[in-house]
Structure 1
Amino acid sequence: MEQKNGSSFTGFILLGFSDQPQLELVLFVVLLIFYLFTLLGNTTIIALSYLDPHLHTPMYFFLSNLSFLDLCYTTSSVPQLLVHLRTEDKSISFGGCVVQLFVFLGLGCTECILLGVMAFDRYAAICKPLQYTVIMHPRLCALMASASWFIGFGNSLAQTVLIFLLPLCGRNKIDHFICEIPALLKLVCVDTTVNESELFFLGVIILLVPVALIIFSYCRIVRAILRIKSSAGQRKAFGTCGSHITVVSLFYGTAIYAYLQPSNNYSQDQGKFVALFYAIVTPTVNPIIYTLRNKDVTGAMKKVLCRGHDSR
């Protein structure tokens, strides 16, 4: 068969869940509800972090960054998926596929790094409370957030270019609901061992290095918390860190499953549902996890709502 690289295609077909038509309506309803909650929850956190002066702290600066990232992350894939679930046309242009992969992967990598930065912020707050304001200077916070975005999208650019340089031999049906590297590698008609090794290496850097830093930070944090004599102080510290640990576990667990396992063990059906989890479930539950037991956020919400009521 004649080899053609990706640029010779006019577009791709995203098979998605077309092999399970009985699930498409159910998925459409569930995903639409999750997407609306994602928009509402993350927009609320961003607005509260901006409106309430008490939330103008490094922790909420990074949290609002995470919420904005989650909004973009979900929007890069879910609206298209919702359309494909209700129509017969499941095509995406070549350019659209390139852009979607670049944006989706870039946002995902940025979130990996940002979650590591947030662990460092919690470490500084609990283990170095007297030096916290000096360590987490606004300029340093802005620098770390900017570096997260720069590294995330730099990695995405490299991987996007590498995957679309490979010959696809006329294949244009992607067994996924988005353009994602593991699914695109299945279309390649040459040996992909080097590319899989490169993907694994970059995955280790983007996924496992932040995880190692998070584990190290929380080992130090737990030791510091256990030294707190007040049980109320211990509960508050564990509550603040517990939210971050929950989000880290949900996001990293599914991302590591998708990107750090051998391709011969990779199941497309499982991969699609795992991608659904980190593309929409995690961004939806993040605001809930961070606000459910967070008195600062719930207090800010009450003040904003009362202010709006009084202004009437």
Structure 2
Amino acid sequence: MNSVFDLILRRLVQGHPEQLLLLLFGGQTPAFIRMADSSLPQSERRADTVLVVEAHGMRFAVDVEIQAQADPHFAVRLLDYTVRIHRREKLAVLPVAVYLVPEAEGMPPPYGFECPGIRVLHFDFQVVRLWEVDFLQPALRAAPALLPLSVLESRAGPERIAWAEPGIDQAPSLSSEERLDLLVVLGTLASRRFGQARLSQHLRDIMIDSPFWEEQRELVRVRVQVSERVQLLLIFANARGLPQPPDAEERLAQLGAASLKDLVTKVVTAPDAAATELRAVLTPQGH
């Protein structure tokens, strides 16, 4: 399940690609050409954001993946996305990892492996650490879509909220809908970092009234339900002596809230059948 941060920021950057490129490339920003399809060929996954840009006469794709929490498989997933986008777009692909908080960052690039005496793979990618970005530099201050992210800067205190809010509220380049979305993003990120009490009454009212905020709260509720059901099933698996692979939690979480609820119910009503079904989920293929 994607985190609330992933969902909020995906919506943010897809609406303002030029300002996203400014964040990624600074003064060497390539020209934005178009948004590309974020669905991936022969896969049920979607990339966060795929842009087609041009710099120095060369057109290429930029795959932006936003990470709000640690993922030990992130580099492999990014490699998979890069190859799939390259095959579809028939362009070179620059993969970019945007880390929201320090704990989201995994092993630094490059990712690769080798066989005896032969380097088989060397996969590099660009990294943007939002807590290291100076959001007060003039170019970024002039990009209202980036103002909500400024509260993640390590040097920023709660006063950054009061600085960013009017910048969004009074930006002439934003539509009313965009302004509302960005204020909701600002309130969400700021309340996560500094606490909801630090928000202005105006910002709190916007968040309460926003259907987008209600959508995010529902996603959080579902995520909590999934986590609780996974833990219950792991307790049951332990009690039954079922083997558990290292990725047991991930395997169960992929079932989704509804299937997990059915399996938890079966633990109570038909424990033997539940054990058989659970064993099938937890047993790696080929065993």
The TM-score, its normalising length taken from structure 2, stands at: 0.27
Judging by fraction of residues, say which structure has more helix: 1
Judging by fraction of residues, say which structure has more strand: 2
Greater RCO (Cα-Cα under 8 Å, separation 6 or more) = 1
